[in-house]
Structure formats: C-alpha cells, structure tokens
C-alpha cells in the first residue's frame, strides 16, 4: 500500500515540475588564460622646433615644426656676417609659432645669421613681459605654479633707436622661488658693470631695482628718451623676457656650468649629459672692458659653426668680438629634459 501511495506522489510531482518555468543560469564571458587586463597611459611627446636664417636688423621666419605657445629655449646663436659691431638690439623670440630674431647696431644694415632650437613641452605655461631700466634690474613674473620650473622661452634687449653701444655684460637670471627675472645689458658707462655680481650662480640675484613694465599704449622710445635725460642712471634699455613654467615631471636634473674660456673641456660644474637642455639663465661677460660684439650664443653640447666662424663645433658658448683674445667669464643654468 505504501508503495502505491509513493508512486502516486511521484506521478503528481513530475506533472508539477513539467509545468513550472525553467530556471536558467546567465551566460558569462570567459577570459583566456593567457590574456591580461592592463591599463595604459601614453605620455605626450616633447617635440623640437628649429629655425635659422640670415637677414639685416631682424628676421621673422617659420620653424620646421610650429613653436608652441610656451616653449623652452634651447641652443641658439647669433652672428654678424661682416665683422663685429656695437649693439642696439639683440635677441631671439618666438612669435605666433615662428622665430623673431634681432641683431643690429644703430643703422640696422649689417647682415647677421641666426640659429635657434626650442623644446615644445606638453602642459607648459608661460608668457611675455617687457620692462625698461638701466644697468641691472628685476622683472616680476606671474606666480610660479606648483611643481614647475621656470625657464627662458625667449629674450631680447633693445636700446633707444638711432643709438648703439659696446657690450660688457649680458645676463638673464631667474629666481625660482620668487618668480623674478634679473637682467643686465651694460657697457662701461659710469662703470655700471660693477653693479653685476660675479657670475657664481644664476639663482643668486643681486640687489637691484625693478624695471618699468611697458604697458599697452606706452612706446619704447618714449620711455627710453625720458630715462636718457636722467643723467644719474646708466644707459637705459628695454628687456623682453619670454618665460615658461615646465612640469617638474619632465626634468631629469638641474645644473649649472661655468667657464673662463670657450673650451668644453674646461667647463666647471655639473656637466650635462647628452639630453635635451632647457636654459634657465645665463651670464656672458668680458672681464677686461666693453667690446664690439661679433657673436653670442648658448649651446652647451655644441652647435655647428657658422661660415667664417673660428672655434670648434663643440664650444659651449659664443661670446666674442673679431678676435678671441679677450678674457671672458660665463655661467649657464640649465635643466635636462626627458
């Protein structure tokens, strides 16, 4: 009897299960044993822009790759093609993706040659500021963003139109902590070269006044004429500083090198390796008196010589008149970039 009852129960149970909705297990995707889940981050590449050419007084020319809005100035050189001269304007700027170079005496009819290189560093910021002063003076820059380094993006020095002078010292020093640029563009007038400290470190700034910022509506010649009438000052000039703040994550090392000759083997300090270099400051100086200028440049790892130029292609700097017998002193502050 029990067997009959059990059979009847199983019969009805099977009927109920047959009518119930079927339960299914969701399908899952499987990962092959050899596959890996990875997240990748591609760092934006640094590009290099180069520009060169010849002209009189100034040269605006395109670079091989468009220069970014806040590049780091790397190797450069300016050179008169017809002998040394006094100087009214000198400098290398970037201008809307192109190079704007200046090199002239008072009449601007002498041919010159220029070559320059910039590093276009992603996420760098910067700008341009122009100020007037005399001797050595400071220029206040915008506050430095956190975790960045202040470098030169471009520069120019300019005296009153129709004038020129010999050169004793040319210098741009950057104060990383206070976002200051200290400039010197001086001859021996009133021995104003004494206001320049010996170039022991570009990060050490002498006590100096602040220049007059040239705002929109003010003319360079108007400001310089007014300053020229002040007989108590050294010879006035205008300095334009283009600056860039580059992320510290792009910097391999910072260093300074100096010398009293144009020989790379005689450099002293933290000699740079063969990395891309961004220049944070420099001082170029004749130690015996002011002179005409034939050429100037910063190129610590060397640069090809220009036609007619004496010296070797691996010279770290260019700073001379027609001969190379004058005592010089120089210092360059740099960052190695990756």
Share of the chain above pLDDT 90, in %: 66
72 within a domain of the structure (yes/no): yes
Residue 132's pLDDT is 95
23 within a domain of the structure (yes/no): no
108 within a domain of the structure (yes/no): yes
296 within a domain of the structure (yes/no): yes
Among residues 235, 236, 277, 281, which one has the least CA distance to residue 253?
277
34 within a domain of the structure (yes/no): no
13 within a domain of the structure (yes/no): no
Q: How many domains does the chain have?
A: 1
Q: How is 129-177 classified by DSSP, letter by letter? A: EEEEEESEEEEEPPPPPTTEEEEEEEEEEE--TT--B-BSEEEEEEETT
201 within a domain of the structure (yes/no): yes
Structure confidence at residue 264 as a pLDDT band (50, 70, 90): confident
Q: How is 303-338 classified by DSSP, letter by letter? A: -PPPTT--S-TT-SEEEESSSS-S-EEEEEEEEEE-
pTM of the shown model: 0.83
Query: Which comes out higher in pLDDT, residue 192 or 117?
Result: 117
H or E element at residue 2: helix 2-19
Which structural domain, as residue segments, surrounds residue 231?
47-337
97 within a domain of the structure (yes/no): yes
Residue 307's pLDDT is 76
Tens digits of per-residue pLDDT, 212-254? 999 876 778 788 877 877 766 678 999 999 999 999 999 999 9
Query: Which comes out higher in pLDDT, residue 275 or 149?
Result: 149
């Amino acid at each position: 009897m029990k067997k009959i009852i059990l059979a009847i129960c199983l019969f009805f149970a099977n009927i109920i299960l047959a009518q119930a909705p079927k339960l299914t297990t969701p399908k899952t995707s499987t990962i092959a044993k050899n596959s890996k889940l990875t997240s990748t981050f591609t760092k934006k590449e640094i590009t290099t822009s180069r520009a060169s050419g010849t002209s009189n007084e100034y040269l605006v020319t395109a670079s091989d790759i468009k220069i970014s809005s806040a590049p780091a100035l790397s190797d450069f050189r300016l050179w008169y093609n017809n002998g040394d001269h006094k100087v009214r304007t000198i400098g290398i700027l970037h201008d809307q993706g192109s190079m704007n170079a200046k090199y002239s005496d008072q009449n601007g009819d002498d041919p010159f040659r220029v070559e320059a290189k910039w590093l276009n560093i992603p996420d760098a910021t910067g700008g341009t500021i122009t100020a007037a002063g005399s001797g050595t003076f400071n220029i206040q820059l915008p506050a430095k963003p956190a975790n960045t380094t202040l470098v030169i993006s471009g520069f120019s020095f300019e005296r009153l139109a129709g004038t020129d002078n010999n050169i004793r010292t040319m210098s741009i020093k950057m104060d990383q902590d206070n976002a200051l640029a200290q400039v010197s563009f001086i001859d021996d007038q009133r021995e104003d070269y004494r206001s320049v400290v010996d170039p022991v470190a570009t990060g050490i700034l002498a006590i100096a006044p602040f220049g007059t910022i040239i705002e929109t509506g003010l003319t360079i010649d108007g400001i310089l004429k007014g300053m020229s009438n002040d007989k108590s000052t050294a010879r006035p000039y205008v300095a334009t500083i283009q600056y860039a703040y580059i992320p510290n994550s792009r910097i391999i090392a910072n260093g300074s090198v100096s010398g009293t000759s144009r020989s790379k083997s005689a450099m002293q300090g933290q000699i740079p390796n063969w990395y891309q270099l961004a220049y944070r400051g420099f001082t170029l100086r004749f130690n015996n008196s002011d002179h005409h200028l034939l050429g100037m440049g910063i190129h610590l790892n060397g640069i090809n010589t220009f036609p007619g130029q004496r010296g070797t292609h691996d010279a770290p700097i260019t700073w001379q008149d027609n001969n190379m017998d004058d005592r010089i002193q120089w210092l360059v502050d740099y960052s190695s970039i990756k």
